Structure 1
Amino acid sequence: MPFQAASPRRRRTLIRAATVAALLLSGSACGADTEASTEPAPLQQTSAAIACDGSGQLLGAGSTAQANAIDIWKNAFSAACPAITVNYGGGGSGAGVQQFTQGKVAFAGSDSALKPEEVEATKAVCTGGQGIDLPMVAGLVSIVFNVEGVDRLVLDGPTVAKIFDSRITKWNDPAIAALNPGVKLPDAEIQALHRSDDSGTTANLTAYLAATSGGAWPYPPSKTWAGKGGQSANGSAGVAAQVKQVDNSIGYVELSFAQTNNLKSAAIATGAPQPVDATAANAANTFAKAQVAGTGSDLALNLDYATKEDGAYPIVLVTYEIVCDKGNKPATLPALKSFLTYTISDEAQQAIGQKGYVPLPAEITSKVKAVIPQLS
């Protein structure tokens, strides 16, 4: 391009001129340069309400729970902003946070908020700042099952805990039968599947079990699986695939993976008048009561896993995008802010709401929208 040999100041001037021309001709504008500027310029709005600024690769990694959402967002964002390439690798929340603290990615997806020691570790890569949690993808953990002849299954906290800790081993166990009167449960061994990788999905499931099992789950909430026995698989996609293939199996995945694989999801007896089905609408009832527990720019949420409200599904999760509040790399900061501005938009939240996720309530998205422009 002719302006590449020009000075940085001249190059920025030419780019601004080209942007203005594009706006006049087509009504859309996607910036294509990450050159740092001493004069902050407003992001250019496209006809799809996507703001483009910066160029090059934007790398992220972590949560597999949000993988389907990221795919949807990448497609829309890339179409509007071809100068920016978003590459997101899964590997689980634990791996994502590790890559972030090693400075390998601009953002990490994690289904659990940063712990104090993890925040401390981020300071090595966030010069003058630290990592913060920005809630971006809301969803629910579906207890998926593959039991011949059983189309609807009701479970509760103590029963789920004992199944995944190998203390309930048969499908016709009295505890399961009591929750499912009239259902013909087979005299078959339960094949329980859990995550092999450090997972925020596991952290949210075990937080639910710790809050609702009455001590039947004897382990603290953790990304690392602690239950006894069972089989393991990597990522949400791996667990879903195994449940689909293995007779008399049970596992836990996000609702989007349950839907993609046509898996049945258990209803949860919470103490509400009726067992609560694993639907996005029911999870939204739980998120509506979520409170921000973080301080400053950190927007970690407090989720009520022990809710007994009618129609409130209790096993919910939120995926946070972990970013630096200060000290982001100048080369990727414009693209990072552009992408996050889009993903928290009403348009983007509604787009993933059609694929098994839960659009975040306005009370939360408004707070995230206020933080993103302040990233530096």
Structure 2
Amino acid sequence: MKITRFAQLGAVAAVAALALAGCATNESTGDSTEEPMESTLSGTIGATGASSQTAAQEAWVANFQIANPDATVNYEPTGSGTGRENFIAGASNFIGSDRAFKIDEITENTFAACADGGSAGIVEIPVYISPVAVAFNLEGVESLNMTADVVAGIFAGQITNWNDEAIASLNDGVELPDLAISPVHRSDDSGTTETFTSYLSAAAPSVWTYEPDGEWPIEGGEAAQGTSGVVDATRNGNGTIAYADASQVGDLGTVSVGVGGEFVPYSAEAAAMIVDSSPLQDGRTEGDIVFDIDYATEEAGVYPIALVSYEIGCVEYEDANVAELVSAYFTYIASPEGQDAAAENAGSAPISDSLRDKVNAAIALIG
């Protein structure tokens, strides 16, 4: 799948429609002959978090600020782990994270970003769904088939050469070199890593014996900071292989993953299928919308390494203006226009209408 970049900000045709981001303060009178009211949103909010969301956030921020010229959103892709730490410490008004806070993390922490330490709760909305690609740099090879056991064996250090029979037997007609495999992993605490290790643990438990974690569990190997760092290290190497949000893998070779007797290439649509078939986690509050993903699915056509990334904010803020800005920004992100902008810029999968209803109900709690 070709991932397109966001090109000309001034060429956004649907900018006028994006005024819905300020809907809380820009209600229509119902007279279709009147000019649309100008946005009254103003002020600045800052966020840190998931580097996987970088391309989507570029589009979201640009469009939101065009529709609301007196509002500023600053998003720094620090990685999910740092984002969550910053939200707890009060250093970010909201964050992006490739995993939600665990229930015990919510009950045990005080969230300095929120009024009264978050006693009213937090809002976690899944609005960025994207495949995590297994990407490689191997001259003359654009795609390969791999089962979960083979992927796990490579990253566990058990399959170490590209012409290993375990790979060759799945790829008839592909000339594989006698070349060492060089796996690359994230050096920072990453929700993408947690997604990937969750997949390996669920789909290849006999090979991958480590628990899912946001920190890479194996010593050694090549490590790089953030999604862009991993992709750069893979692209600049020879025989390298990595896992990364698909929005940033560009022209690297990619793996079609074995699912239910077939090999499924990554796509936004195939990744979205696993979300639509997954239940919400039990024990969450109304504004805390978290999926229980089945990474070991055998459902036909599903791409199982699916990243479900969240925007996380407070139910209550000390500053009413911050609450209004966060609510408006989240509303735009979740809107059809916002989801289409992310799909165009990052290759992500737009959320379904039924999920949007749940997300908007959660956003309505912010105050």
Category of TM-score, reference length = shorter chain? 0.7 to 0.9
TM-score, length basis structure 2: 0.86
Say whether residues 1:296 and 2:283 are aligned partners: no
Equivalent residue, structure 1, for 2:47 = 60
Equivalent residue, structure 2, for 1:229 = 220
Q: Is the contact between residue 109 and residue 319 of structure 1 (CA under 8 Å) also seen in structure 2?
A: yes
Alignment of 1:338-349 (within 5 A): 338-349=328-339
TM-score, length basis structure 1: 0.84
Greater CA radius of gyration, 1 or 2?
1
RMSD: 2.5
Question: Partners of 2:268 and 2:242 in 1: how far apart?
Answer: 19
Say whether residues 1:268 and 2:261 are aligned partners: no
Distance 1:327-1:74 versus aligned 2 partners, 3 A rule: closer
Equivalent residue, structure 2, for 1:21 = none
Q: Is the contact between residue 50 and residue 77 of structure 1 (CA under 8 Å) also seen in structure 2?
A: no
Equivalent residue, structure 2, for 1:151 = 142
- How many equivalent pairs are there? 339
Residue identity in the other structure for 1:366: D
4+ residue segments displaced more than 6 Å: 26-32
Question: Partners of 1:100 and 1:301 in 2: how far apart?
Answer: 21
Question: Partners of 1:371 and 1:194 in 2: how far apart?
Answer: 34
User: Residue 266 of structure 1: SS of its match in structure 2?
Assistant: strand
Equivalent residue, structure 2, for 1:357 = 348
Distance 1:30-1:136 versus aligned 2 partners, 3 A rule: closer
Question: Partners of 2:144 and 2:135 in 1: how far apart?
Answer: 10
Deviation at 1:280, TM superposition (A): 1.3
Question: Partners of 1:30 and 1:290 in 2: how far apart?
Answer: 30
Residue identity in the other structure for 1:291: P
Question: Partners of 1:43 and 1:232 in 2: how far apart?
Answer: 47
Equivalent residue, structure 2, for 1:313 = 303
Question: Partners of 1:30 and 1:311 in 2: how far apart?
Answer: 35
Residue identity in the other structure for 1:101: I
Unaligned runs of 5+ in 2: 1-15, 29-33
Distance 1:183-1:360 versus aligned 2 partners, 3 A rule: same
Q: Is the contact between residue 291 and residue 301 of structure 1 (CA under 8 Å) also seen in structure 2?
A: yes
Q: Is the contact between residue 91 and residue 197 of structure 1 (CA under 8 Å) also seen in structure 2?
A: no
Unaligned runs of 5+ in 1: 1-25, 33-39
Deviation at 1:373, TM superposition (A): 1.7
Q: Is the contact between residue 78 and residue 226 of structure 2 (CA under 8 Å) also seen in structure 1?
A: yes
Q: Is the contact between residue 80 and residue 189 of structure 2 (CA under 8 Å) also seen in structure 1?
A: yes
Deviation at 1:312, TM superposition (A): 0.7
Residue identity in the other structure for 1:280: A
Structure possessing the higher relative contact order (Cα contacts under 8 Å, 6 or more residues apart):
2
Deviation at 1:52, TM superposition (A): 4.6
How high is the sequence identity, in percent, across the aligned residues? 36
Deviation at 1:223, TM superposition (A): 0.6
Equivalent residue, structure 2, for 1:6 = none
Out of 95, 117, 122, which is 2:82 matched to?
A: 95
